[in-house]
Amino acid sequence: AQTVTQSQPEMSVQEAETVTLSCTYDTSESDYYLFWYKQPPSRQMILVIRQEAYKQQNATENRFSVNFQKAAKSFSLKISDSQLGDAAMYFCAYRRGDMRFGAGTRLTVKP
Amino acid sequence: DAGVTQSPTHLIKTRGQQVTLRCSPKSGHDTVSWYQQALGQGPQFIFQYYEEEERQRGNFPDRFSGHQFPNYSSELNVNALLLGDSALYLCASSLEGQGAADTQYFGPGTRLTVL
């Protein structure tokens, strides 16, 4: 069974600084998708970034980028120039068929 | 372009009752997935509906059932409610079989409290 592990229950970053959230997953498949979702206190799950496993190039969306290491089964999220609005729970997710989520990392942004 | 909508926002039930939650997918999407998110945890996959049929199912008992209508909207039904069913129920929609099909877009959720 595929599992997703987020080893950092909480992270903190100073406004305008950079922070990296970790995620590892376990799978025997070669073709799958990986996602980072953000869930603010409003509780709506918002897509941050998406990565196809067959693509070697790391996905980037403005201030958000990933470091995808397929062999190591690692998928970390880097947030550059952190803003107060980035404060939220961040979930890493794996999808091949159904979607599997990690337990989440709570990110605090300090002004 | 309307996103994923869910109703109701909050719901309070007592043990043994039955509940129905509703979801309308994002415009143009044809697939609906349901998730249960307990407090402080990541979402857990319940099931997915495509072409009005349950296509995949997670590790949830038969008390959890669903339906998809011809307009792609969906319902989640939970029978014989238990205290442990208290959670945020999330609906997500996607367009299967297309280039970006595997991206799911989530609704705001329904907070169910079982007393």
Q: List the pLDDT tens digit at each of the 111 positions of chain A.
A: 569 999 999 999 999 999 999 999 999 988 899 999 999 987 889 999 999 998 888 999 999 999 999 999 999 999 999 999 999 999 999 998 788 999 999 999 999
- Count other Cβ atoms within 10 Å, centred on residue B17: 13
Instruction: Label residue B101 by pLDDT band (50, 70, 90).
Output: low
Token readout for A2 is 């595929």
Which residue of B lies nearest to A50 if distances are taken between CA atoms? B103
Q: What residue has token string 């989520």?
A: A101
Distance CA B39, CA A106 (A): 13
Number of residues in chain B: 115
Distance CA A60, CA B109 (A): 28
**DSSP tally for chain B: helices H, then strands E:** 0, 11
Q: Which residues of B touch A (CB under 8 A)?
A: 33, 35, 41-45, 48, 56, 58, 88, 90, 92, 100, 102-109, 111
DSSP label of A42: T
Distance CA B8, CA A20 (A): 36
Token readout for A64 is 């958000």
Q: Strand pairing partners for A100?
A: A94
CB contact under 8 A, A104 and B44: no
